[in-house]
Amino acid sequence: MKNDIILAGVGGQGILSIAAAIGLAAVKNNLHIKQSEVHGMSQRGGDVQSHLRLSDKPIASDLIPKGKADLILSVEPMEALRYLPFLSKDGWLVTNITPFNNIPDYPGLEDILKQIKSFPNHIAIDADTIAKQAGSSRSSNIVMLGAASPFLDIPFERLEDGIRQLFGKKGEELVNTNLKALKAGRDFTEKNR
């Protein structure tokens, strides 16, 4: 088995937390993992991406080859489209639809959504609203993880363990909010795929 995942977003949106939660779950599941991330200049509001690779066999490259990603998981709609050269023919595009507009020439949301919806394998989710309903607007990245979870070869309980480990130090309340966010994201995908 292998899951090659591109995580996409804007610096500061929390894609590294998603990567960390999946990473912790994968290690508990005895999978091999390589996860490449962006630090430094781009984190200042620029586009950021992380290549996350899971496999039951040893993984060679830290980078996913073009056309081989099984999943693009984006916390921002325009950023979802930036990595299409990496997506395989049968791959899934799972994205938040709330735009992060910090550039003067940000395109119209309708044009972006039209592109996203042209993919048969897409999940477009309003993660910010769902996160608010789950208790905290700051958990939208974890809603996105939940929305992508049906496409990962990791048992859902392991992801929940990952969330507990990741947020455990910050208190029970935050753990529960994020577990709710995770579940809400998953439910959305299961209803809409």
Partner 1 sequence: MEKLLLLGDEAIAQGAIDGGLSGIYAYPGTPSTEIMEFVQGSKQAEELSIHRTWSANEKTAMEAALGMSYAGKRAMVCFKHVGLNVAADAFVNASITGVNGGLIVVSADDPSMHSSQNEQDSRFYAKFSLIPILEPSNQQEAYEMAYYGFELSEKLNVPVMLRITTRLAHSRAGVQRSQVKKQNQLHLPSDPRQFVLLPAIARKNYKKLLGMQPSMDIESEKSTFNTFINGSDKKLGVIAAGLAYNYLMENYIDGKNPNPILKICQYPLPHKQVADLYNQCDSLLILEDGAPMIEEMMKGFLNLGKPIHGRLDGTLPRDGELNPNIVAKALGMAIQEGQEVPEVVKNRPPSLCQGCGHRDVFEDLNEVLKEYGTGRVFSDIGCYTLAALPPFNSVNSCVDMGASITMAIGAADAGLIPAVSVIGDSTFTHSGMTGLLDAVNKNAPITVIISDNSTTGMTGGQDSAATGRLFEICQGIGVHPDHLKIITPLKKNHEENVRIIREELEYKGLSVIIPQRECIQTFARRKKAEKNESN
Residues 18-57 that bind partner 1 (CB under 8 A): 23-24, 27, 32-47
DSSP letter string, 70-90: EEEEESSHHHHHHTGGGEEEE
| CA–CA dist 59, 98 (Å, integer) | 34
Are the beta carbons of 175 and 164 closer than 8 angstroms?
Answer: yes
**Residue 165 CA neighbour count, 13 Å, CB half:** 17
Member of 3, 5, 7, 11 binding partner 1 (CB under 8 A): 11
Q: Which residues are 2's β-sheet partners? A: 55
| CA–CA dist 46, 182 (Å, integer) | 26
Member of 62, 157, 172, 190 binding partner 1 (CB under 8 A): 62
Member of 61, 155, 168, 192 binding partner 1 (CB under 8 A): 61
Binding flag, residue 133, partner 1 (CB under 8 A): no
The size of the interface with partner 1 (CB under 8 A), counted in residues, is 54
Residues 72-111 that bind partner 1 (CB under 8 A): 78-79, 81-82, 84-89, 91, 102-107, 111
Residues that bind partner 1 (CB under 8 A): 10-11, 23-24, 27, 32-47, 58-69, 78-79, 81-82, 84-89, 91, 102-107, 111-112, 115, 170
